Structure 1
Amino acid sequence: MSPSHDVVDLIRTKRDGGTLNQEQIDWLINAYTDGTVAEEQMSALAMAILLRGMNRAEIRQWTAAMIGTGDRMNFSSLTRPEGGRRLTADKHSTGGVGDKITLPLAPLVASYGVPVPQLSGRGLGHTGGTLDKLEAIPGWRAHLTNAEILHQLDTVGAVICAAGSGLAPADKKLYALRDVTGTVESIPLIASSIMSKKIAEGTDALVLDVKVGTGAFMKNYDDAFELAQTMVALGADAGVNTTALLTDMDTPLGLTAGNAVEIQESVEVLAGGGPADVVELTVALAAEMLAGVGLTGVDPQENLKNGKAMDAWRGMIAAQGGDPDAPLPEPRHMHTIHAAETGTLTRMDAYAVGIAAWRLGAGRARKEDQVQAAAGLRLHAKPGDAVRAGEPLITLHTDEEHRIQRAEQALRKAIDISEGSHAQPSTLIKTRIAAADI
């Protein structure tokens, strides 16, 4: 251990509300990554950060130090035919239920000539994973080399794939530690975890979709707002044009939650249809991404209607070995839950719907678990809709019949139906945060 830095002193500093300087943070992150700092010591420091917080300079340096432990991607070779570099745009969601937005969004933005390098992950618990959904498409593959990513961005314009292990390896180690030490909720550590990978990814513009509500990681508005502000500041400090939208996750997005069912719904959006909330959020995020690289005054709905976004989708899926025309997996078992009374659907709890989809086999409890491509559920009504007793409310999909009962249990208290028509769905997009607002 370096004589100039004693990790116990750094723990005491944060425990007592002090500030760590750049040299201390750089040493700490590198020493933890190489094993010099023990897991129990970093656990104590993570708890001190959870309780005491970090200021903007500390979070910025913590993030930069994590980026410095690994590789950085470079898209400067992407050029326009007439000359000049093509700027890239990306989006990150903090996760929710029915959140299939990446699927139509990436090809939609690419259809305007803006490359979209979307490094995505897998689902864990009640939130779905983009890669799990795409693997429902026969032949599609998630793992690409850096050369393949660059070639696909140059030729097709969009790529959705797994992040390589070389991006911010310190984050992978710290993330696992936070998961078992009760420090997952620390906003500085959440923000640096997300942004270290996004900044290392090398994108020019980034839009953050920060979910708030029962089905989100952040349950209340103030926490979600603080997280969004922190991440936008990190992006701005790193020279990435970053904005954030706070969006509702009390109710699932769209009418599906699962894997193949969300692919189907995404294709409907790309064909110019689909649920209104999915279209609204896809278009809003696309406009932010396009504006982030200087393409303003564009209505992204145009390329949903004229087929250009669908062409980009088909090219993206085919480039990764998938067959965009292949039938998607069908579940071996289906079960429909019906409305118990007549009235207005006033609540459909996103968290409960996510748990039900997980129990049907659409998600995993551990990272090594397998998921069922055909598992998930389809909603026949959303809050604000009128329903009649005996009408279908939710159809469950699974390959294993024994899973249905536990999924039903998760939904038992998730739905409220009231007399009259007074219920209105909550506003989907709650607020926008840009660097100028901080």
Structure 2
Amino acid sequence: MNARTILAKLRHKQSPNRDELVWFAQALADGTVSDAQAGAFAMGVCHVGLSDVARVALTMAMRDSGRVLKWDLNGPVLDKHSTGGVGDCVSLVLAPALAACGAYVPMISGRGLGHTGGTLDKIEAIPGVSTQLDEAQFRRVVGKVGCAIVGATADVAPADKRLYAVRDVSSTVDSMDLITASILSKKLAAGLQGLVLDVKVGSGAFMKDLPQAQALANALTKTANASGCRTTAVISDMSQPLVPSLGNALEVAEVMRVLTGQTKGPIVSVCAALGGVLLANAGLTHGVQAGADLIVRAIREGHAAERFGMMIAAMGGPVRFVEDYNRFLPEATIIGEVSSEAAGYVTAIDGEALGMAVVDLGGGRVVESDQINSAVGLSDVVRLGAKVAKGAPLAVIHAVRANDAERAAQTVRQAIKISDKPVKTPELIIERVG
């Protein structure tokens, strides 16, 4: 078996069989195939596509190209994954809430990608927190606290790491088959018994329309379930930021306001929808609604905040972070409002543009080596349907330099559409798949 034979099959519009996909995944991991061959493979899959059986085979082969964790805990091992949005800090609320409900959450997360923020970048805005734990440390935190949010080690799905880098430079990122295998190979390597997928749709998501989101949700759930992990997808709206802040420290502050009972907002509804599915599927509650209610109670009664504080301390952060989070989070040097140039109703928000404004402020990466400024971003972003007066604030900018703030202000005004007539706000939870 060799790369040329497999690439020849793809060139002739034939799907590789299971053994060939297992060989190719291992060859990606150990360097047997060249970057050129990896790129040709990705392009071939884009053009030909994979059958359901082949997609499962590729996912499992990429998962098995490295270390697969196994757990011996007195509760189900569960996790969630989001396809990416703006102001989406659900993981920081949901992981400790699930832990407070009796689940264990070994969450292997990622960094910011394009206009979307990354969970690792957000939690690392807390001084001292390290997300690069070795396996022994990871197991210790999960076992003691019930949850840990960490980055993947080099031996977790190394085939995916290699193929993803090649896809990024070969314009093959948007292949449904490769997206599915990439997401699930890393998640399944964590040894999960249950998974929920938050598939975002709207202006702030990678999937801009519902048919795209439905297709991805179906591919992900079919593949994950066929791989032996009980999985459901929830399609949720991302036509506006989920919380009214974008930027790493600013989103952590929003999370803390939710966990300490100062605010609720749509993030609690999304956590309830996702967590309800996980708890019901794992048999911890009788039905999704009962699971959703349990998640809300864990947040409302402070149990999730307690777990969050334990997790932060166990990962090197401040011991009393929950009690005094404002003292620890970094602040920008320039903070100012963006005023509306017209009166009316907020009828559209370009979430991708707002996300890129945060990147431009220094809160995200243009290339992988870029250093992030955790303090910058946007806060107090207006909501869809809000009535604003001329001169009223649309958002607050947190910047390092005055010219950066001015450029962001222009982007915010262009991204938020003001009209004479109000619009109906989209439903937050659109449908459940799988």
Which residue of 2 is the match for residue 367 of structure 1?
368
CA distance in 2, matches of 1:154, 1:36: 37
CA distance in 2, matches of 1:344, 1:116: 41
Measured after TM superposition, the shift of residue 364 of structure 1 is: 0.9
The partner residue of 1:50 within 30, 46, 66 is: 46
Structure 2 portions without partners, runs of 5+: none
Which residue of 2 is the match for residue 333 of structure 1?
334
The partner residue of 2:300 within 285, 302, 305 is: 305
Q: Does 1:318 find its partner at 2:318? A: no
Which residue of 2 is the match for residue 83 of structure 1?
none
Q: Aligned AA for 2:387?
A: A
Q: Which moved more, 1:423-432 or 1:256-265?
A: 423-432
User: Could you report, residue by residue, the CA deviation over 1:191-220 in whole angstroms, capped at 9, with x for unpaired residues?
Assistant: 000000111110111011111222212222
CA distance in 2, matches of 1:225, 1:178: 23
Paired residues for 1:240-389 under 5 Å: 240-296=229-285, 297-298=290-291, 299=293, 300-323=295-318, 324=321, 325-326=324-325, 327=327, 328-389=329-390
**Any conservation in 1 of the 2:357–2:411 contact (CA below 8 Å)?**
yes
Q: Does 1:59 find its partner at 2:59? A: no
Which residue of 2 is the match for residue 38 of structure 1?
34
User: Could you report, residue by residue, the CA deviation over 1:243-291 in whole angstroms, capped at 9, with x for unpaired residues?
Assistant: 1111122211110010111011111111234352111111111112212
TM-score (norm 1): 0.93
Q: Does 1:94 find its partner at 2:94? A: no
**Any conservation in 2 of the 1:329–1:374 contact (CA below 8 Å)?**
yes
The partner residue of 1:213 within 202, 207, 225 is: 202
Q: Aligned AA for 1:121?
A: G
TM-score (norm 2): 0.94
CA distance in 1, matches of 2:410, 2:342: 18
CA distance in 1, matches of 2:64, 2:264: 42
- CA separation of 1:138/1:36 partners in 2, compared to 1, >3 Å: closer, same or farther? closer
Q: Which moved more, 1:194-203 or 1:274-283?
A: 274-283
Measured after TM superposition, the shift of residue 175 of structure 1 is: 0.1
Measured after TM superposition, the shift of residue 164 of structure 1 is: 1.1
The partner residue of 2:94 within 105, 110, 116 is: 105
Measured after TM superposition, the shift of residue 154 of structure 1 is: 1.8
Q: Aligned AA for 2:24?
A: L
Q: Does 1:26 find its partner at 2:8? A: no
**Any conservation in 2 of the 1:89–1:292 contact (CA below 8 Å)?**
no
Paired residues for 1:37-186 under 5 Å: 37-76=33-72, 78-79=73-74, 86-186=75-175
Which residue of 2 is the match for residue 433 of structure 1?
433
CA RMSD in angstroms, aligned pairs only: 1.5
Q: Secondary structure at the match of 2:107?
A: strand
Q: Aligned AA for 1:46?
A: A
CA distance in 2, matches of 1:32, 1:198: 19
Measured after TM superposition, the shift of residue 241 of structure 1 is: 1.1
CA distance in 1, matches of 2:343, 2:107: 43
User: Could you report, residue by residue, the CA deviation over 1:61-81 in whole angstroms, capped at 9, with x for unpaired residues?
Assistant: 1111112210011112x23xx
**Any conservation in 2 of the 1:124–1:367 contact (CA below 8 Å)?**
no
Q: Secondary structure at the match of 1:256?
A: coil
Q: Which moved more, 1:339-348 or 1:91-100?
A: 339-348
CA distance in 2, matches of 1:407, 1:94: 25
CA distance in 2, matches of 1:10, 1:412: 51
**Any conservation in 2 of the 1:206–1:292 contact (CA below 8 Å)?**
no
**Any conservation in 1 of the 2:203–2:349 contact (CA below 8 Å)?**
no
CA distance in 2, matches of 1:293, 1:213: 30
| Greater share of helix | 2
CA distance in 2, matches of 1:32, 1:104: 35
CA distance in 1, matches of 2:311, 2:142: 9
Measured after TM superposition, the shift of residue 41 of structure 1 is: 2.1
**Any conservation in 2 of the 1:124–1:366 contact (CA below 8 Å)?**
no
Q: Aligned AA for 1:111?
A: A
Q: Does 1:239 find its partner at 2:228? A: yes
Identity %: 40
CA distance in 2, matches of 1:201, 1:117: 7
User: Could you report, residue by residue, the CA deviation over 1:377-422 in whole angstroms, capped at 9, with x for unpaired residues?
Assistant: 01342111111111111111022333223323433421111113x3
CA distance in 1, matches of 2:256, 2:427: 24
Count of residue correspondences: 422
Measured after TM superposition, the shift of residue 171 of structure 1 is: 0.4
Which residue of 1 is the match for residue 415 of structure 2?
414
- CA separation of 1:140/1:42 partners in 2, compared to 1, >3 Å: closer, same or farther? closer
CA distance in 1, matches of 2:38, 2:128: 41
**Any conservation in 1 of the 2:354–2:412 contact (CA below 8 Å)?**
yes
User: Could you report, residue by residue, the CA deviation over 1:349-389 in whole angstroms, capped at 9, with x for unpaired residues?
Assistant: 11111011111111111111111111110134211111111
Q: Secondary structure at the match of 1:413?
A: helix
Q: Secondary structure at the match of 2:149?
A: strand
Measured after TM superposition, the shift of residue 335 of structure 1 is: 2.4
Structure 1 portions without partners, runs of 5+: 80-85
Q: Aligned AA for 1:115?
A: Y
Q: Secondary structure at the match of 1:159?
A: strand
**Any conservation in 2 of the 1:115–1:158 contact (CA below 8 Å)?**
yes
